[in-house]
Amino acid sequence: MQAPTKVATRTATAASGAPVTILAFAGDIASTSKEPILEAYGATDGQKLLLDFSGTEYVNSSGIAIIIQLLLDATKAGRRTVGIFGLTPHFQKVFTMVGIGKYATLSPNEAAALASL
């Protein structure tokens, strides 16, 4: 019943000129998302990473836990600045509520996210 999570990887350039990897999610972000998200994350390199939620409509607490795990891995690696964009206003509120905004910049769209890095 859960819409499978698809993760597409692309690159962009931050306002500062630095290269940025973008992981664009589609489908549900739920318990079944762990493998596709963390595998895609593991295959990335570079200092700056953006997570694009504009292709997702359903995120639950299990999905949020996977994003926290990704942020934790990035922090442990000591090499990543992570930003998030494309969340609906509701999920932007939920991500702020659980404290993710302390560890990743939440931006409304890709342009704002690239400008924040």
Partner 1 sequence: MKNGSAVEVTLPSELGFEKVAMSTAASMAQLMGFSPDRIEDLKTAVAEACINAIEHGNQMNDTLSVAVILSPGEDHLEIKVIDDGAGIIGQPATPDIDRKMAGEEDPRGMGIFLIQSLVDEAEWHQGPPGKSFVRLVIRLDKEKN
Binding region for partner 1 (CB under 8 A): 1-2, 28, 30-32, 58, 60-62, 64-66, 68-69, 71-72, 75, 88-90, 94, 97-100, 102-103
Residue owning tokens 């509120």: 93
DSSP assigned state of 95: H
Helix H or strand E encompassing 114: helix 110-116
Of 31 and 109, which CB lies nearer to partner 1 in the complex structure?
31
Of 64 and 114, which CB lies nearer to partner 1 in the complex structure?
64
Q: Whole-number minimum distance, CB 28 to partner 1, in Å? A: 8
38 with 66: CB under 8 angstroms?
yes
Q: Whole-number minimum distance, CB 10 to partner 1, in Å? A: 26
Q: Whole-number minimum distance, CB 13 to partner 1, in Å? A: 28
Dihedral in degrees, nearest 10, Cα atoms 41, 79, 72, 54: -50
Of 23 and 66, which CB lies nearer to partner 1 in the complex structure?
66
Whole-number Å distance between alpha carbons of 8 and 15:
22
Q: Whole-number minimum distance, CB 27 to partner 1, in Å? A: 11
Whole-number Å distance between alpha carbons of 64 and 18:
27
Of 11 and 61, which CB lies nearer to partner 1 in the complex structure?
61
